[in-house]
Amino acid sequence: MISVETTSNNSILIITPQGPLERQDFETIGKEFDQAIVSSGKVTGLMIKMKSFPGWENFEAIATHLSFVAGHHRLIERIAVATDNSFLKLVPGLASYFVHPKIQVFDLSETEQAISWLETGVR
């Protein structure tokens, strides 16, 4: 299960996993993503908030996740990862070689700074 929120101007999505990622989670994110595009014309940023990575429910969830990333990464300007997990702090650096958006890592307690960076691009 996953929680998806949008900021007041609907250009930033805040995603909080609440258990192993499922295929349906990416359908939920996709719907919110499409609504943000219709509402504000773009998705300025995506924030992923998680204490630790919950993993995927099954291979279908992994495949759906990869498909979502492939189909949407060029439509996002910036991604902020807010976490306290040291391993997760390394992953965005690797991902930046494969996806379009700029990626920054923040401590979980720095969500306001993460949103500010997503809005402005200035840290």
In tens digits, what is the pLDDT along the chain, a chain of 123 residues? 899 998 877 789 999 999 999 999 999 999 998 888 888 777 889 999 998 888 899 999 999 999 998 888 888 889 999 998 776 666 666 666 567 788 899 999 999 999 999 998 887
Phi-psi map region of 19: left, alpha, beta (phi>0 left; psi -120 to 50 alpha): left
Q: Which domains does the chain have, with CATH numbers?
A: 2-120 (3.30.750)
Which DSSP state fits 68?
A: H
CA dihedral 55, 46, 69, 73 (to 10 degrees): -160
Q: What pLDDT is recorded for position 92?
A: 64
